[in-house]
Amino acid sequence: MNGNQAVQNWVAEMAKLTKPDHIVWLDGSEAEKNRLIREGVSTGELHELDQQQLPGCYLHRTAVNDVARVEQLTFICTTQKSEAGPTNNWMAPAEAYARLGKIFAGAMQGRTMYVVPYLMGPPGSPFTKVGIELTDSIYVVLNMRIMTRMGKSAWDELGDSGDFVKGLHSKADLNIERRFICHFPEDNTIWSVGSGYGGNVLLGKKCFALRIASYMGRQQGWMAEHMLILGLRNPKGETAYIAAAFPSACGKTNLAMLVPPAALAGYEVFTVGDDIAWMRIGEDGRLWAMNPEAGFFGVAPGTSMKTNPNAMQTVQRNTIFTNVLHTPENTVWWEGMGVEPPSHGIDWQGRPWTPASGERGAHPNSRFTAPACQCPSISPEWENPQGVPISAIVFGGRRAKVAPLVYQSFDWDHGVFVGATMGSETTAAAAGAVGVVRRDPMAMLPFCGYNMADYFAFWLEMGKRIPNPPKIFNVNWFRTDQQGNFIWPGYGENLRVLAWILARCRGEVGAVESPIGYLPCLDDIDTTGLDISQETIATLLQVDAESWREEVEDQAAFFTKFGDRLPRQITGQYQALFRRFAF
Ligand code: GTP
Ligand code: SPV
Ligand code: MN
């Protein structure tokens, strides 16, 4: 037990509601981890994988209807509905506490409530915040133990203070009719019930580090963003840091762990974070970013030694796999792993599977949870309490058409507009249709804890406050040809685009002005050692006025949602874009 009175009162109150048989206060020790693993294995919640090949690795399967974030069941519960804005689901706080309170009532009977103290950020950093999650799931505890700094260091950081984010989670009966993920930013509180899946239940991640933190950050003058952070060292030995926002399952983990192609030897990429960045203005007038997480909750399918060797090496030990295929060798497999499938196995739904069945062995949103410190490309700066200085912000989406491979915004305000108009094809990371283009500003549509119009205003305001702001770019690795094949090789080859971005930041290379921003000159994307024609590069960089007309109309339709609250600079940017195209 912990002596902090505020914590004790709150835990007692939540226990009174949920009625667990036992309450276990966690300290984050190895002995505690081993005890929890043993218990998880004995109940079948975890499956122990072959410990010779995959030491410390376990497999977990979630309920079949519980495999992704559920945006329709995710709510921002502010007193004013307008504070949540038109892109969030809203429920009045009193109503949400009452509705969820009924589901939570007695939900932990016959179970143990774990008190999980954790830090978002390294101990002693000005960025760092404390959270406590109460959960009845061992799977959640073990994941939180990887994804955050969990245990004693959080109690130490908290001391006697009542300043922590209160998270309550119960699997309850895993009934989708009784599943809710509610955020109370005015109370620093998160209530999540009826799910056992990743982003719905690892409350430090999307719920705290993005939704609650974005709300805090606006009040306190810092940013919480759905961004990877990487360090890029050029052949001269100069390292610059890039933060990049892509929607879920659109390539953040892959870019953060990029291995440069052999032909561009001399470059090196260092991983600082793969999903979330907290950013604040440093005393030197630059924007500094920190990764608040301690692990990766990465998409398994498509991860192979060819596409992402750093991730493959990271997940060889101490990793929890969720909803992948279980092989007869007692190991794991997924589509796009780059090795032959086993002759048979148990699929993500727990059913017998063979390659001939034509069904997926691993769920498209199956995941690995692995400690960041195991990543071969981890940056020596990744736990620097000051964070790292950001030279470039990159936005990007999954667009078969329209968006070129890369372009640079004219300035900060235009860059905010580029971020605000991001569109991307939906993926399996959230429940619902896949492959439909939707507007996803700054990749934050599902994660912004307040009205997005105010979020745009906050970005614009930050631009005025950062004396030396990062340059802003947009990328798209996902252009396809008539047959639907990707025309850009992607993955490690994306370094060629990062190299241009870095050169632009350093003022070392020119650009062509287009209606949407600065494009690279054809020769300035280094294609050494790459089998790609200049025509293809030209296609990748094409800005087709006709398809942009439709794009701009769709952007305008999205913006009308915000009514008068939309900052006039955004409208001004829109009008200027329209004029530059002379539609
Ligand atoms: P979240 O964890 O959901 O936030 O996702 P993420 O943005 O980190 O995405 P991730 O890097 O895990 O990539 C998701 C999928 O996109 C995987 O199946 C990758 O193989 C695929 N992908 C990533 N980068 C590229 C690329 O450059 N080109 C192509 N074609 N696919 C890519
Ligand atoms: C995402 O969906 O953007 C993720 C996975 O990073 S989850 O933690 O489930 O949100
Ligand atoms: Mn994410």
pLDDT digits (tens, 9 = 90+) for 362-407: 999 999 999 999 999 999 999 999 999 999 999 999 999 999 999 9
Amino acid symbol at 570: I
For residue 278, what pLDDT band results from cuts at 50, 70 and 90? Answer: very high
| 505 is known as an active-site residue | no
CA distance 10 to 170: 16
CA distance 305 to 311: 8
Domains and CATH numbers, the chain: 5-45+69-220 (3.40.449.10), 225-294+380-581 (3.90.228.20), 296-374 (2.170.8.10)
Query: Coil, strand or helix: which one is 464?
Result: helix
CA of 200 to the centre of ligand 2 (A): 9
pLDDT digits (tens, 9 = 90+) for 324-337: 999 999 999 999 99
Contact 298, 372 (CB under 8 A): no
CA distance 338 to 175: 36
For residue 265, what pLDDT band results from cuts at 50, 70 and 90? Answer: confident
pLDDT digits (tens, 9 = 90+) for 478-501: 999 999 999 999 999 999 999 999
Amino acid symbol at 82: S
CA of 312 to the centre of ligand 1 (A): 14
CA distance 412 to 116: 40
Q: Is any atom of ligand 2 closer than 6 Å to the C-beta of 429?
A: yes
CA distance 223 to 1: 34
pLDDT at residue number 221: 98
pLDDT at residue number 303: 98
pLDDT digits (tens, 9 = 90+) for 542-555: 999 999 999 999 99
Terminal CA-CA length for the chain:
66
Mean pLDDT of the chain: 97
Q: Output the six-digit token pair for 359.
A: 């069904």
Q: Which helix (H) or strand (E) covers residue 12, if one does?
A: helix 5-18
Q: Is any atom of ligand 1 closer than 6 Å to the C-beta of 143?
A: no
Helices (H), 378-531: 412-420, 452-465, 495-505
Residue 422: other Cβ atoms inside 10 A: 24
DSSP E strand stretches across 42-128: 47-48, 58-60, 74-76, 89-90, 112-120
Choose which residue among 71, 197, 200, 253 to substitute to test ligand 1 binding: the one with the highest number of ligand atoms within 8 A of its C-beta: 253
DSSP E strand stretches across 426-536: 437-439, 471-475, 512-514, 517-519
pLDDT digits (tens, 9 = 90+) for 193-238: 999 999 999 999 999 999 999 999 999 999 999 999 999 999 999 9
CA distance 496 to 234: 11
How many residues belong to the chain? 583
> Is a pLDDT exceeding 90 seen at residue 2?
no
DSSP E strand stretches across 479-533: 512-514, 517-519
Q: Which helix (H) or strand (E) covers residue 109, if one does?
A: none
CA distance 500 to 498: 5
CA distance 193 to 195: 6
CA of 520 to the centre of ligand 2 (A): 32
Q: Which residue has the tokens 């007193």?
A: 79
pLDDT at residue number 131: 98
Residue of 57, 250, 448, 505 marked catalytic: 250
As a whole number, mean pLDDT of residues 13-28 equals 98
Q: Is any atom of ligand 2 closer than 6 Å to the C-beta of 248?
A: yes
Residue 282: other Cβ atoms inside 10 A: 17
> Is a pLDDT exceeding 80 seen at residue 429?
yes
> Is a pLDDT exceeding 80 seen at residue 1?
no
Contact 516, 408 (CB under 8 A): no
Q: Output the six-digit token pair for 280.
A: 């604040």
Q: Is the pTM of this model over 0.95?
A: yes
Ligand 2: nearest atom to the Cα of 205: 8
pLDDT digits (tens, 9 = 90+) for 557-574: 999 999 999 999 999 999
Q: How much of the chain exceeds pLDDT 90, in percent?
A: 98
Residue nearest to atom 3 of ligand 2 (CA): 248
CA distance 149 to 124: 12
pLDDT digits (tens, 9 = 90+) for 131-147: 999 999 999 999 999 99
pLDDT at residue number 568: 97
As a whole number, mean pLDDT of residues 516-535 equals 96
CA of 245 to the centre of ligand 1 (A): 12
Contact 513, 497 (CB under 8 A): no
pLDDT at residue number 156: 96
HSE-up of residue 263 (Cα within 13 Å, Cβ side):
12
